[in-house]
Amino acid sequence: MHPPPDFGPRKARAAYVARRLEELYPETPIPLDHQDPYTLLVAVLLSAQCTDKRVNLVTPHLWAVADNPAAMARVSVAEIQAIIRPCGLSPRKAKAISGLSRLLIERHGGAVPRTFAELEELPGVGHKTASVVMSQAFGVPAFPVDTHIHRLAQRWKLTSGRNVEQTERDLKKLFAPGTWNQLHLRMIFYGRGHCTARGCDGTVCEICRTLFPGRKRMARTGK
């Protein structure tokens, strides 16, 4: 593929990124193994500061004990914590899993709600987790921004945001809503495989070199 010669405008860079990522990742499988919105919600909660690979190793043991809100509500926090300990932050995550399971029964008839506001009212569920569930479980356009996406968006100068909230707003302006759900996964895949925190400083990977062939210094990224 021969990219256009001028990547100066932000929209031109965004268009190239979208095209190249679609070529590299035509399929966008959801990285976290799950069976339904509830198991996805719990898996996403467990993935905080933990790799998807490790979550996928742990969740089968958790689902063997309880894979729905009613069953999980009957499991003690201590037992949940013992199972999910390899994922890290287990005291907080176990308490959140127990609490959100009870609230799903009490407020939502045991079903995972389909709105951002209701999801974000659940224990341990922030905007990013809610965005993942809305996009991957319900197909609602959302652009969850994790550290991979935040870093890439800065390196590719798609945002000047100093935090994930601003980066999310900027990316939503650059890309059509119909592309968000797949694009955020493609950016994660690329960030993990080619433009890692240690493997690329904004001058090494294919997309960084294509967008900024004259870049001599590392691209600084904020949190």
**Do residues 24 and 115 both lie within one domain?**
no
pLDDT in tens, 117-132: 999 999 999 999 999 9
pLDDT in tens, 54-94: 999 999 999 999 999 999 999 999 999 999 999 999 999 99
173 is catalytic: no
**Do residues 43 and 104 both lie within one domain?**
yes
Q: Which of 106, 136, 166 is the last residue of a domain?
A: 136
Residue 31, pLDDT above cutoff 90: yes
Per-residue model confidence (pLDDT) at position 5 = 45
146 is catalytic: yes
Total number of domains constituting the chain? 2
**Do residues 44 and 124 both lie within one domain?**
yes
Q: Is residue 217 part of a domain?
A: no
What mean pLDDT comes out for the span 11-38?
A: 97
What's 194's domain CATH number? Answer: 1.10.1670.10
- Provide the domain limits for residue 57: 37-136
Q: Is residue 4 part of a domain?
A: no
**Do residues 156 and 86 both lie within one domain?**
no
Catalytic residue selected from 146, 157, 172, 201: 146
Token digits of residue 195: 């433009």
pTM reported for the whole predicted model:
0.91
Q: Is residue 109 part of a domain?
A: yes
